[in-house]
Structure 1
């Protein structure tokens, strides 16, 4: 429940920032070399709440469209909008995510109650997190996996080419100890999935993420796989859950997709009633994006919050990783 707003005026500040990667990362649908973000800052009296978003690129969002979208509702925001109002005012997506998270942060400072406490959590526990290996030559991916010996959870990006089986086998040979998941980012066909399944089973892959394109994934209903499927692009919001539950065994929630922590928490509850496992992922971003996702991670089965690990530098206070786990994501949602 939202607390009563302060009588002090609310001021909205918007900024676009660029956070470069240490090196480019290749996915099945392109190469990325950094995280451009929109930062929403809400100032009210002595308090300041922040939220960050990258947007959902395959839905046509960019940092420019997010900023423009927020500018169109500036008056409503500065009139004293709360989280419930933000869910009514803006559709799911990056703009609402940045605003929603800024409102959570501001509320924590204004009320003196941290977000974690408000959600009934005594403390935020460390969560093992997946680290992503971008699409590359099998031997390169194996070398990268070996270098990530501190991390026991590895996600392999695969592109639907003939090299996919060799990539999985090479990583498994390099890291017999690791839990492996694979992510196609909608890049496979049903034939490729079926041909690859024996290798995935032999290499003890634990999860297959979004193997087929969203909206063209009905074939999953007739493919017998001992490895669970997780919906990413096929799950954008609450309205998609019934269809997803008939085809997938898990869902990947990203705050930019859901439009913030508020909606994501509602989706977790609804997914549980349908017997779905839940993963929290990220579109990238700095520790300001990861901190609210770390709160959501407390309610999830799988955690994929490795975005800051790819950055040349992170904002402070930076997310802290140790022993293959996300240990701390400070600077957001704390009581003043």
Structure 2
């Protein structure tokens, strides 16, 4: 097995702001693993929120990939995952890049799409992805929402965390009366504030509220969950399967991301844990190239909700992924691997 990686800089279509800051360019690290005449592709989209940058990914990847080469079997993902854990305790995005590349490679070697390796079928009715509208002036958010709806996206996710939150949702709802609207506070609210806003937002037919309070405030999350008229999704509070028991009675939806779990293999573990605790499941993303978005799309048959618009927010992406139309990924078009293709 031969391995390599490179960092790609991906400008965004428009600056993307959430409650924690603004992003104009995303740095992803793309991994390639070759074996048996095939190449598997994976990518890391590191987030400072979880202690990673492109530099930390670049620093740890040589050691992680050395374990891949030492095992020498692209189908031994759990063995490789266990060995990577001995090299780096954290670094989930770096591990995700390796794990995704292994799944892509395995699918190509077996001439099967990854969703089939996961035991799933694709019927064309998998949940549509939301299209995210970053924090901005209300008028700008309304205009971007209008453009997204006119482009065929039926589900909007609005980033909130200002004193104009309710005003913004009201204005977007007026502009997009038939759209499904979700909101994401990215930890910006205090518990009592969150409850008040949930009651106000309920007037505008909001589907659910994502991460209303700080991730390190489980009691606050529970406080909101018990008093909110709207369903609550846990994102920053839920990184891996081990976090599920602590949030199970404090939210309705567990939101996984491959860059939090460490790849597809541990993502399936989180899905199973969430189901065992009676939670609905969503898969979200960072701002990512199609390499990793395609991998996450293969989880769609296992999900209730999807927020996989990371590559849609880019000005351009050198990699192609699973075809998407009107917010729906067409997994039936994936013949083998994840569906990601190089330039």
Mind listing any 5+ residue stretches in structure 1 that lack a counterpart? Answer: 1-9
Shift of 1:319: 4.1
The question of 1:271 aligning with 2:270 is answered no
Cα separation, 1, equivalents of 2:297 and 2:250:
27
What residue is the counterpart of 2:338 in the other structure? Answer: 333
For the pair 1:243 / 2:268, whether they are aligned, the reply is no
| Structure 1 residues 187 and 20: CA distance shift in structure 2, 3 A | same
Partner of 1:143: 143
Of 37, 41, 51, the residue aligned with 1:50 is 41
Provide the C-alpha distance between the structure 1 equivalents of 2:123 and 2:52, rounded to a whole number of angstroms.
31
Cα distance in 1 for residues equivalent to 2:330 and 2:175 = 26
Deviation for aligned residue 1:53: 1.1
Moved more, 192-201 or 129-138: 192-201
Q: Distance in 2 between matches of 1:124 and 1:231?
A: 28
Q: For residues 61-210 of structure 1, what are the structure 2 equivalents within 5 Å?
A: 61-79=52-70, 80=72, 82-88=76-82, 89-90=84-85, 91=89, 93-123=92-122, 125=124, 127-149=127-149, 150-159=152-161, 161-210=162-211
With over 3 angstroms needed to count, the CA separation of the structure-2 counterparts of 1:325 and 1:265, relative to structure 1, is: same
Secondary structure of the corresponding residue to residue 207 of structure 1: strand
Does residue 310 in structure 1 map to residue 316 in structure 2?
Answer: no
- Secondary structure, aligned partner of 1:24: strand
For the residue of structure 2 that corresponds to 1:312, the secondary structure is coil
Contact 2:99-2:262 within 8 A present in 1 as well: yes
Q: Any idea what the Cα deviations from partners look like across 1:46-82, whole Å, max 9, x if unmatched?
A: 1111101112321210111112112123432211263
- Alpha-carbon distance, 1:281 to partner: 0.6
How far residue 251 of structure 1 moved from its aligned partner, in angstroms, is 0.8
Instruction: Please say if residues 308 and 319 of structure 1, whose CA atoms lie closer than 8 Å, have aligned partners that are also in contact.
Output: no
How much is the aligned-residue C-alpha RMSD, in angstroms? 1.9
1:50 aligned counterpart, secondary structure: strand
TM-score (norm 1): 0.91
- In 1, are the aligned partners of 2:232 and 2:251 still within 8 Å (CA)? yes
Deviating beyond 6 angstroms after TM superposition, the runs of 4 or more aligned structure 1 residues are none
String of CA shifts for 1:116-139, please: whole Å, max 9, x gaps. 222223336354110001111222
